[in-house]
Homo-oligomer: A and B are copies of this chain.
Amino acid sequence: MSLYPNLHKSADPALRTPRLTVVGAGIGDPELITLRAVRAIGEADVILYDALANDVLLDYARPGAIKLYVGKRRKEKAFEQEEIHELIVNQALTHGHVVRLKGGDPFVFGRGWEEMQYAQAHGLEVAYVPGVSSAVAAAGSAGIAVTLRGVSRSFWTMTATTESGDLNPELAVAAQTDTTVVILMGLHKLSFIVEIWTAAGHPDRAIAIIQDASTPQQQQIIGTIQTIEHLAAKHKNAGPAVIVIGDTVKHVIKALPTQLNHSKLL
């Protein structure tokens, strides 16, 4: 028993099994996609994709595959979640293999699980292809390890807000610990995060903001709870950001300038 993909091709479209593969595209750099994800894209009849770091990933699709954008543009949703659910099922019943392509890993703050659950309840075969998650890889791309021998033996990944938009109450719990805290989608709540860690008695704790991780635009801002708002105010980068709080942020491997080659794909 495994959720691993059942990637067979049927020569006859009429014999295609309706099925859904939820696929993680990884972060930023389009080469941070897995071989299995590339293979799933190539075997898709329909690709439903979110705002991806790089649309070049869609080039792995076979000629004639249907590609539908179902993500958010700015704050407007192109589709409601319920519409995506129905689209998955309808497209699979009509065309066969639907690949749902999402940034990062589809089970980390995505709706990948819900989509699989709905699809399976409606008779589709389902499979999951994990991806490189910004929960780990954003810090790493800035030379920061989420765990580090002698410094941090765990990391706690959360969003800054709950579904209703309130502050996540787990932030205050995490601020009482020494774990590495990784906050996704939290930059708009930075001042609240600073308040929480200050109130917990940790104004000097190290904090990093990593934006556009693993892309040529990557920027990292590193400071303390006390200084980070001032430092962040100087930057005007609107890209996706990950916040990392904890002593491991004091241990940064400073990178040499690199020659990124984002056009070269296998």
Contact = CB atoms under 8 A, between A and B. Distances in A.
A125 B255 CA distance: 8
Interface stretch (A63-71, A112-120, A197-205, A224-232): A112-120
A107 B152 CA distance: 11
Nearest to A133: B136
A2 B130 contact: no
Nearest to A157: B155
Given A130-B141, A141-B130, A260 B2 contact: yes
A135 interface: yes
A148 B115 CA distance: 12
A3 B120 CA distance: 40
A2 B143 CA distance: 8
A110 B160 CA distance: 27
A237 interface: no
A140 B130 contact: yes
A49 B105 CA distance: 25
Given A32-B130, A132-B130, A255-B1, A173 B177 contact: yes
A162 B154 CA distance: 10
Interface in A1-25: 1-8, 24
A143 B3 contact: yes
A153 B159 contact: yes
Interface in A142-156: 142-150, 153-156
A92 interface: no
A155 B173 CA distance: 13
Nearest 7 A/B pairs, CB to CB = A130-B137, A154-B158, A113-B145, A31-B36, A107-B145, A156-B156, A6-B258
